[in-house]
Amino acid sequence: MSEPAAKDLLATMLSRILAWWLPLAAMLLAIPLGDGPKTVVWCLALAWMGGACLANARRCGRVHCRYTGPFLLAMILPVLGHGTGVLWLGDQGWLWLGAATGLGVAAIWWLSEQMLGKYR
């Protein structure tokens, strides 16, 4: 395994679970909750995953992490806005936020690594 790949948090199942799958599971489990608790869970999960991405970008130079980290952190703003009622996204607001987050991360991941490679 090359040096960047050896340092990549995506290299081991345990680090993937701790950094991304547990916060994602928390977001999914929070869906039936009211706006207040859901907002808190989603904001914490997005901050955790965004921080993990930024740490991974610094740690191993993973290209998509440079972009998904700030994207996940930026998604806290619309989540916080919708959850507090400041930004009304309609009755399906949480669905739109979840879809935007998931599709955004997938697009950033795929496009950035297609264009720039896996590590830099």
Q: What is the pLDDT along the chain (120 residues), one digit of tens a residue?
A: 568 888 998 889 999 999 999 999 999 999 999 999 999 999 999 999 999 999 999 999 999 999 999 999 999 999 999 999 999 999 999 999 999 999 999 999 999 999 999 998
* Alpha carbons 5 and 61: distance in angstroms, whole number: 9
* Alpha carbons 5 and 24: distance in angstroms, whole number: 23
Give this prediction's pTM.
Answer: 0.93
| Alpha-carbon distances, residue 95 vs 5, 82, 100 (angstroms) | 34, 11, 8
**Is there a contact between 97 and 89 (Cβ–Cβ < 8 Å)?**
yes
pLDDT of 5: 83
